[in-house]
Structure 1
Amino acid sequence: MALERYVGPGCLVEFMQGNQAQVAWVLEESSGRLRVYTLTHREEKMAMARVLPWMGPRYDGARDRSAISEILAGHQAKREAAAKAIAPLELWELAQGEVREESAEWFAGLVGEKPDVDAVAGMGRALLGCKTHFKFHAPKFEVYSAETVERRLTEAAAAEEREKVVVAGQVFFKELWHGWATGDRKKGAALAAKLDPEAAAKLAAMLRRLMADADDQESAVLWAMLRKGLPDHPLQAYILATQWGIVPPHYNYHLDQADYVAGDDWHAPYAAEIEARRAGLAALSREPEPIPFVSIDSPTTRDIDDAFFAETRPDGTIRLVLALADPALDWDFGGPLDTAVAHRASSLYLPEGVSHMLPECLGTDLYSLRAGDVRPSLVMEWDFSPEGEIVGFAMRKTFVRVAENTTYAVVEAALDRGDAAPHLQLGWRVASWLRAKRLERGAVIIERPEPEISLSGYPDDVKIEMSVCPAYPKAQLLVSELMILGNAAAADYAVSHGAAMLFRTQDARLPPEVRGIHSDPPAIQRAVRELPPTLTEPDPRPHATLAAPAYAPVTSPLRRYADLINLAQLEALLRTGAPRWSRGELEARLPLLSSRIEAVGRVQRFRPRYWKLAFLQRHCKERTFEGVVVDVAGGFISLSLPDFQIYVRATRDTLGDTIYTGQRYALRLGRIDPLTNELRVFGAEEIPASLPDEQLFGEG
């Protein structure tokens, strides 16, 4: 039974339907159109173009439908048997590299000397089923190259695995979502136990990728399939992950988005380099200067990067000395540890814990200015006239031994009592001069209460407490002004030596009404609205808010990578007379450093707000909260919640007929969602000026 070249009545043909080759009997042919009878006992019409290129045999004479069906069934059985007997991969091995494409008849000739039409059809069926190695371009089969086969096998395996994951995951995700929506937080583990372990691992990995990047391209196709039937939610992956239990309650997904590893375990791969830093510093160490420095920090601070001393000389001039921790002394810039630290960019101080930029064995131990320990330091020294004018400045690399680590509370109490040590009293006096002079130059100072968030039982049974941080105005003024002085001096020194730095700039002329000290919410809002953003750039420009002609942060090298860079520039200037990096080299580093600073800064901004909203969510039904109107423009009124340092908007109808800036309200809040940052005002009652707050808000 030979192949037929032309189609006519009585000829057997094959066509593709449902991804399978189907055999049929031609009843009629007319102008490229066929009427055929199939194995399913149906007549169909089709274009000649659908017919596969192995036709025959042809049967002469008329036959009834029963006879035709019997003939079709016989050929179908032969062709199925022939296809099963063929090993298409062996044929590919023979043909690959020898021919680019060939017909089914040619391939059938490789396994039989005179293949009949059933053998050719069986070969065609076998090759059609081996899509990873052959592609059908009628009338021939293309033989894929080894590289193409490898790629297609990988794609086929991935598609098969994806289908497996989708089948398992669609139902699983719907049940997880339903559990979350109905408040049933205990279903996750039981549902996950029914999953195939391999599929579960892939689903978990996908959710983690999506928490870090909602637009993750690797997950896009699979995620689109899995979330069919689920409502839209901007944090759907996070919700499913927490409901499942692969991340704990209140998981900080902002860290994933910033690619920042919390805690201190991240530095384990750099143990050898850390030991090298210890050894290098030990080799460089020498006798410290005999200056009784004192540091002032919060009681929980362990990464102590600044300390000071002040004294009055016999001639009435004042000597002020500032010591800065100096990790740059023996730091391997460009090494693996430095790359990891640069990626962290800064320390994070969050309610659930501190994550230090440096490994704790370095940042809170080896380089930290702990009392009694000899530490490398960059020392800045000023001479002040009795009237508070700077009459001299010097800077040097040295080693110091801090005499005392004290706290804001202790210093504030001593200054209030009048029995503070002379260097503390003198330091506060100098700081007061410095602030007064900055205000004369047009500085902007924002004074507002800082909320303190305390967590217990984190993360499984968390309780949130909110309070206003204690204010230590004298002690905090002392420290903040010395830091501004040191950073401005670092910038001036670099400029005078023609060295580039990572300058913080805000080159703008501020309106007179913005300058000065602002403490009430409306004034703060007006001032902040007028302040342009600060920039980090290698060229010195003014910093308007600080009233500094140039400003290069250098006083927190244990906490901020930009400060470490600037410290290294100064250290190199003092040691060699030239900066470590040129302007062009610093400029080249800026894009990556700026992106890391912004990414980590978002965590520091958003995470405390999450806890503030979580606190409001838990207490909004039992109490009201003070809001102060800060902006009445537009359709919505903006209010500040001073105790929380967050803002909320309300409609005019909610607040009443007469609304003015500075007006105080007792706000009823609702529809609070820490995840989506949603906060609504449901009601408000104006607070009479004479009514004590505790009668309105309770003691919470």
Structure 2
Amino acid sequence: MSKSLTHIRPGAVVEFMHGDQPQLAWVLEEQSGKLRIWTINKREMKLPAARVLPWYGPGHDPGCSRQEIQDRLNAHQERRGEIQAGLNVMELWDLAQGELDKAKLEWFADLLWEDAGPDQLAALGRAMLSAKTHFKFRPPYFEIYPEETVELRLKTQAEEKEREAVVRAGSDLFKALWEARMHGCDAKTPRMDDDVTERLKQLLLDQIAKQADDKSEKIWTAVRKGLPDIPHLALLLAQKWGVLPPHHNYLLDEAGYEWGNDWSKRHQKALSEQFGCFESLRTEPEDTPFVSIDGSTTRDIDDAFHVSRTEDGYRLQLALARPMLCWDFGSELDKDVFERASSLYLPEGSTHMMPEELGTGLFSLFEGQDRPAMIADFDLDPDGAIRSATPRLGWVRIQKNDTYENAERVLSENGDEHLALAHELASLLIKGRIANGACIIRKPEPIVTVEGEGHDAAVCVTMKEACPEAELIVSEFMILANCGLALWGQENNVPLLHRTQDIALPAEAAGIFTDPTEILPRVRLLLPAQTELQPKRHAALGVPAYTSITSPLRRYLDFVNMAQVCSMLEKGEPRLDTDRLESLLTHLSPRMSAVSQVQRFRPRYWKLHYLSRERKKLREAIVVDENGPLPNLAMPELQINVRVPRKLLGDKLYPGQRFQINFGRIDPLTNEIKVAEALED
């Protein structure tokens, strides 16, 4: 094959690239580097000689008829196909790679045959062109890829083939699932390989969790063509397919939060070490008769109190759980607890930040059990103002775990001097906060519970039994602790993470508000609190500084702050300096935000599901904002506000006006709720 392409004569058999494949043709005429050819597909066309592949021949009688040309082209095509089928270009690559970077086709042919003919050369050229993972054709040479490049290209080729299979099967499957969902029937899903099935399942799960990488996103874009562009499409498809159950909590997936306690099983060694360390450090508990007040179902008890009267005021001792007694910061267990960021208390159940063996077991302040604690000792003046705050480390034995309901009953009967004194102090504390501008919102608290799973899930809504006097004790003591320890940290150069809301509020914002018409205007004055290292005023609480430290079993923010205080008391210096604490906050803040979204929106999902079961039932609603085309109405029964078109309410509206409303469309998944009818009550 030494002839120049410019000397191609009529009657020669040539090949050229067409549609990424070599195509066979017969030269009818050649003139000044331009050919008129007859292709094997019975098509006459013009072709620049430069497009002819560097293997051609044999030459035939240029006077052959079209039928004779076609017969000979067919014969060459068949012969070349037979030869190509018998070639193993991978073995040829093995022989060539490492020897040289590129070579002409004849060099490779010499490795296979002594004197290769035109059909053999063409067959080999075709085979090497098809081996794109091993050779690259740069006329007239074939470049030989090195082994590393071949491995990478083979991997890419396999991935592309797999991607095509997934896209093809996914498109058919998802269309079938969507059609079945729209018609309320079972889907006729196509048959698929197990690998493809698993890839499609993972594709949906990645979309639901918003964790898809670029490759997954490209596949998702391809398979969802023809389907509606709606929120939560992947979740709806996964539920119709049976990959996920109805009412699946996709918010947990988005937050990357593992429900339940199974996650802790991978830390059994660390948990065993915690128990061993606990026993080795156990000391005799203080004899202070601490009491806790919590909900009747609470198992993660992280605070207890004891109040006594002094000659000129009060002494309040607060025992706070100390789960970092033997904690290994930076360990795998610590990293998992950090990622969880907070316990979650949802209508379908609770899941805890810490392993249950620790958070609702070893370090929970159960009555009659010896527990490590950080005791915050407050000396308060007759008005409840802080004269001094002195934290110390020790062990405690809680005298009693009381409930809100029982404490409320005892207070109403004046049956316990200690509780009465605690309430007396709490009343002074809230009075002082209001004098400092505190804006206190009190709403009815609906308790939403879910029994059963999937299609059998039943939602129940009841109003929490009001225990205002008992709740006042706990809330005021916790605010005092968080404020007092923030001030102590400031005085002792202990960096802490503070909750700040350094804003100016008008005088009318101060007080206790229970009426929905009074609550909304006050809430609009309040900006969200920030987490910062610098202690600043918290306007809504009416305190000069506020850290978050009283719930170290439930919130990692409190856990970090507790560790700072305990380290200072034990070693004379905080665990983290300001720079390291600030660095930690940059990673902790997004985790807290992600987990808080679950706590915020999941109860609302179940409330909307509850309403959707009886959309036509009339429910009480109160106008809290009459302005604009969509006045705002509050539903105290569920603590939900809804926007209602003014045309349904009439023109004469005023705050406090009561209506009976029912609903049209309610979609818990998209947080959509539309009022269909409003009757003035």
TM-score relative to the length of structure 2: 0.96
Pick from 653, 663, 670 the counterpart of residue 676 of structure 1.
670
Q: Which moved more, 1:30-39 or 1:328-337?
A: 30-39
1:102-501 residue pairs with structure 2 within 5 A? 102-184=103-185, 187=186, 191=189, 194-213=191-210, 216-313=213-310, 315=311, 317-419=313-415, 421-501=416-496
Q: 1:71 to 1:387 in 2, by over 3 A?
A: closer
For these two proteins, the number of residue pairs brought into alignment is 680
The farther-off stretch of 529-538 and 382-391 is 382-391
**Percent identity between the two aligned chains:** 46
Cα drift, residue 88 of structure 1: 0.9
* One-letter code aligned to 2:140: P
| Cα pair 2:389 2:488 within 8 Å, conserved | no
Mapping of 1:62-101 within 5 angstroms? Answer: 62-101=63-102
Give, in angstroms, the shift of residue 56 of structure 1.
Answer: 2.3
Q: Could you tell me which of 572, 575, 578 is aligned with 1:577?
A: 572
Q: How far 1:319 moved relative to its partner?
A: 2.2
> Which residue number corresponds to residue 527 of structure 2?
532
Q: Is the 8 A contact 2:445 2:639 kept in 1?
A: yes
State the secondary structure of the residue aligned to 2:367. Answer: coil
Q: Which moved more, 1:489-498 or 1:169-178?
A: 169-178
Q: C-alpha distance in 1, partners of 2:503/2:449?
A: 38
Counterpart amino acid of residue 461 in structure 1: D
Residue 506 of structure 1: CA displacement?
Answer: 1.0
Report the secondary structure of 2:164's partner residue: helix
User: What one-letter code is carried by the residue in structure 1 that aligns with 2:592?
Assistant: I
How far off is 1:205 after superposition?
1.3
Q: What secondary structure is seen at the aligned counterpart in 2 of 1:45? A: strand
Specify the SS of the correspondent of 2:324: helix
- More displaced stretch, 80-89 vs 441-450: 80-89
Question: Distance between the aligned counterparts of 1:683 and 1:35, measured in 2?
Answer: 79
Write the letter of the residue equivalent to 2:189: L
- Indicate the SS of the match to 2:655: coil
Instruction: Give the counterpart letter for 1:274 in structure 2.
Output: L
Q: SS of the residue aligned with 2:228?
A: coil
AA matched with 2:550:
T
Q: Distance in 1 between matches of 2:305 and 2:568?
A: 22
Q: Given the alignment, which residue of 638, 642, 667 partners 2:661?
A: 667
**Pair 1:47–1:672, CA change in 2 (3 A):** farther
Q: Map 1:21-100 to 2 at 5 A.
A: 21-100=22-101
Deviations 1:432-457 (A, max 9, x none): 10000000000111111122112112
TM-fit CA distance, 1:67: 1.5
2:330 alignment partner AA: G
Distance 1:575 1:440, change over 3 A: same
Q: Is the 8 A contact 2:28 2:62 kept in 1?
A: no
Q: Aligned pair in 2 of structure 1 residues 46, 681: CA closer, same or farther (>3 Å)?
A: farther
- Per mean C-alpha deviation after superposition, the further-off stretch among 520-529 and 558-567 is 520-529
- Contact 2:389 2:485 (C-alpha < 8 Å) held by counterparts: no
Structure 2: segments with no counterpart, 5+ residues: none
Q: Which amino acid aligns with 1:355?
A: T
Q: Secondary structure at the match of 1:191?
A: coil
- Whether 1:638 aligns to 2:632 is yes
Q: Look up the SS of the partner of 1:247 in the other structure.
A: coil
* One-letter identity of the residue aligned with 1:453: V
Give the superposition deviation at 1:30: 4.1
| Cα pair 2:5 2:50 within 8 Å, conserved | no
Q: Tell me, yes or no, if the aligned pair for 1:4 and 1:55 is still in contact at 8 Å.
A: no
Q: Assess if the C-alpha contact under 8 Å between 1:453 and 1:611 holds in 2.
A: yes
Deviation at 1:31, TM superposition (A): 4.9
Counterpart position of 1:691: none
Whether the aligned pair in 2 keeps the contact of 1:91 and 1:107 (CA below 8 Å) is yes
Whether the aligned pair in 2 keeps the contact of 1:264 and 1:359 (CA below 8 Å) is yes
Unaligned runs of at least 5 residues, structure 1: 688-700
Structure 1 counterpart of 2:634, one-letter code: S
Q: Could you say if the C-alpha distance between residues 248 and 179 of structure 1 is closer, same or farther in structure 2, counting changes exceeding 3 Å?
A: same
The offset of 1:402, in angstroms, is 0.3
- Please identify, of 209-218 and 566-575, the stretch whose mean Cα deviation from structure 2 is larger: 209-218
- SS of the residue corresponding to residue 675 of structure 1 reads coil
Contact map agreement 2:37 2:45 (CA 8 A) in 1:
yes
Contact 1:165 1:199 in 2 (8 A): yes
Partner of residue 647, structure 1: 641
Q: Give the partner amino acid of 1:323.
A: A
Rounded Cα–Cα distance in structure 1 between residues aligned with 2:209 and 2:288: 48
- TM-score of the superposition, structure 1-length normalised? 0.94
SS in 2 for 1:111: coil
Give 1:387 shift.
Answer: 4.4
Task: Give distance in 2, aligned partners of 1:609 and 1:415.
Answer: 34
Contact 2:206 2:212 in 1 (8 A): no
Cα distance in 2 for residues equivalent to 1:358 and 1:118: 74
Question: RMSD of the alignment, in Å?
Answer: 1.8
Residues 2 and 116, structure 1, Cα contact 8 Å, conserved in 2: no
**1:406 positional shift:** 0.9
1:440 & 1:481 partners in 2: Cα distance? 14
SS in 1 for 2:423: helix
Q: CA deviation at 1:2?
A: 6.8
Change (3 A) 1:61 1:248: closer
Distance 1:640 1:100 in 2: 77
Q: Which amino acid aligns with 1:93?
A: D
Note the C-alpha offset of 1:668. Answer: 1.8
Tell me the distance in 1 between the aligned counterparts of 2:573 and 2:218: 54
Which deviates more, 592-601 or 462-471? 462-471
1:3-27 CA-partner distances (Å, limit 9, x unpaired):
5532342222112334432211111
Distance 2:179 2:41 in 1: 45
